[in-house]
Amino acid sequence: MVKALFIVDVQNDFTEGGSLGVEGGAAVALAITRHLAAHHGDYALIVASRDWHSASDDNGGHFATDAAPDFVSTWPVHCVAGTEGAEYDPGLDLSHIGVHLKKGQGIPAYSLFEGVTDDGAAVAELLRDRGVLEVDLVGIATDYCVRATGLDAIAHGTRVRIFTDLVAGVAPASSEAALAELAHAGAELALAEPLRD
């Protein structure tokens, strides 16, 4: 089976010290780099997404500008296009990543499937063109963008495996709920680095 790796939003604003940093984000960036070093040859396609929000507006209500963020549908300003916060975390080695997507350009966006390359290609086209039938999924945040990407990948008809040691979430309870929802929808939950005695 032809397989792809999806790396979701491993960006400075989502790792420790960022405007929406999650605990364990930097460690996940390094662990994904180790996985890429050992397994990049397993994948016909390696795709990374980034939030890439507009600096000039509230991105369709995504940024909380008139009230405090509710951390459900409104958020503090993050991943503004061209800023350091929108760049990949320095722990993520980009050398094996073949496709880079930007999402949320002026609108709310969670799923990697909502992103496009700089020349306008969408990931659904890339999967179809490469004949990809399986996707391994890693990144940030488990309970938001990883969840949305996994559900979209399943809906797209691909077999999805989520490496639970290569994701980090906003909160433990919502992350566990997201993984349970994904498993119920048909995703496989696995470890990229199996525990050894």
* Catalytic sites, residue numbers: 9, 103, 145
Q: Exposed (0-12), middle (13-18) or buried (19+): which is 83, by Cβ within 10 Å?
A: middle
**Rg of the chain on CA atoms, in Å:** 16
DSSP states of 88-119? BPTTS--TT--EEEEE-SSS---SGGG-B-TT
Among candidates 50, 113, 108, which has minimal Cα distance to 74? 108
| Extended strands (E) in 15-172 | 45-51, 99-103, 134-140, 159-168
